[in-house]
A and B are shown apart, each in its own frame.
Chain A
Amino acid sequence: MIDVSDVYKSFGQNQVLKGVNLKVHDGKSMVIIGASGQGKSVILKCLLGLTKPNSGKILLNGFDPNSAQKNIILSKVGMLFQGGALFDSLPIWQNVAFRYLHGKQKINASEARKIAIEKLERVGLKKSFADNFPSELSGGMQKRVALARAIATQPEIIFFDEPTTGLDPIMAQVINDLIRELVVELGVTAVTITHDIQSVRSIADEVALLHDGIIQWSGLLNQLDKSKNKYLKQFIAGSTVGPIETLR
């Protein structure tokens, strides 16, 4: 379970998070939506322990990612970065099996390679790509590799940061479907950050709208279109008229 209580975070004078409260139950897929610059990535970084909140409490399966327990919880977490964040200097299979090649989960290289190839095949990539370098793959393929890396060690929680950004609509839907399949198949708790409504409809069990540093609305996916929340209605409609200010 992910429990975020009253989290505040500022950068200098800029108060980005102003008391975020959020709960994601085990095995559920939560999608956080919101306009650009509203703190979606900041909340994700706080959840991963990459940025420390000024105040508030974050617990991932009972562990605080911003404390000495960070490494315990990170070993149970998978993360898909917006740009993939694959290591340029390593071949694909070593990217996927990174955790098996270094640190506490280290196993022998041939075993790690076998697992990496299994995971690559699970996300629809052929074995022949295993020895390529990330720069030799297309954007969609890199996303798949990053997804394979995120699921490589059977995580309990997976985070997805803008999983379909930069992809064409068809490839975006392929990635959305893949994410949904994996979340259901692995039974993991998932948090996705996106502003792509199509992704929301494909991936989410629950949705939260972050605006002006707080969660303005949260609910089940089937409540999304019925909600009267003015922020949510404007965001879904993509309208320039409403409480969400737009610069023109």
Chain B
Amino acid sequence: MIGFTAQTGRIFLTFCSFIGELIIFCIRVFAYILTPPFFMRAFFSSVVQIGWLSLPVVGITSFFTGGALALQIYAGGARFNAEEVVPSIVAIGMVRELGPVLGGLMVAARVASSIAAEIGTMKVTEQIDALTTLSTDPIKYLVVPRLVAAILTVPLLVGVGDSIGVLGGYVIGVTRLEFNNTIYLINSINYLEFWDILSGLIKGAVFGCIIALMGCFFGMRCEKGARGVGQATKSAVVSASVLILAANYFLTEAFFSS
């Protein structure tokens, strides 16, 4: 019994220490965002890595999701003669939910893992210590540019993903489900409100923040050796994905519950 209590207490304390570490890390990172020096080259490089190079994977995911969504809504709508809702539901579903969430998850898989592996490798090969000895704060040089780049580029990726997702629904709607192309487009646009689009973009910014923070945090606390880098990468992707899904629920609740 004492052993069980001790074990539970140890796990709880480890968890509290982890949460404390994460909070301190986040406070430091956000405090540094507006503090010079600004590493612009590292920022633009991160924009390319996180934003530009994620476009293909987000685009392909969104296209097929939009297509599949059109097929599902058509099949479901046919049960009560409501096939005509396909364009509007595809547009709203993509823009409000599937675009940001699937885009966020795909970027988390691609970017959080690569950030954690890169920073983790730098940690185990003493490159982070080398930065400190070269009078450069590793948080400012490695974390802040990636965080800012992710917050700015993930909403853009979500915007592009939304458009491609709606296009995917349109292509399937017109070619497979025999919708009139003009009516499909009109219905897609008419039922879409500005807030639907904006809420998705805000979600994208929050997901970008989560992705960069998780990648950097687990990279910076990486243990020695290849196993440590693997563990950091896995933890970054899993925690980013779970936090994205949780944040999505709370943001949806905040934006649309009324």
Contact = CB atoms under 8 A, between A and B. Distances in A.
A85 B122 CA distance: 8
Given A71-B135, A74-B135, A83-B125, A102 B39 contact: yes
Contacts of A79: 130, 133
Contacts of B130: 79, 81, 85-87
A85 B125 contact: yes
A81 to B, nearest CB: 5
Contacts of B141: 102
Nearest to B128: A85
Interface residues of A, number: 22
Q: Which size bracket describes the interface of B in this complex?
A: 10 to 19
Contact of B136 (A49, A98, A149): A98
B127 interface: yes
Give the dominant DSSP class at A's interface: loop
B126 A83 contact: yes
A53 to B, nearest CB: 16
Nearest to A78: B133
Interface string B120-147: 0110011101101111100001000000
B9 interface: no
Contacts of A86: 127, 130
Contacts of A98: 134, 136
Interface string B84-125: 000000000000000000000000000000000000011001
Interface string A81-123: 1110111100000000011001110000000000000000000
Contacts of B122: 87-88
Contact of A103 (B121, B126, B129, B136): B136
Contacts of A103: 37, 134-136
Contacts of B133: 48, 50, 74, 77, 79
A38 interface: no
A104 B135 contact: yes
B145 to A, nearest CB: 12
Contacts of B129: 45, 48, 50, 81, 85
A134 to B, nearest CB: 10
Interface string A140-155: 0000000001000000
Interface of B: 37, 39, 121-122, 125-127, 129-130, 132-136, 141
7 contacts: A45-B129, A50-B132, A74-B132, A74-B134, A102-B39, A103-B37, A103-B134
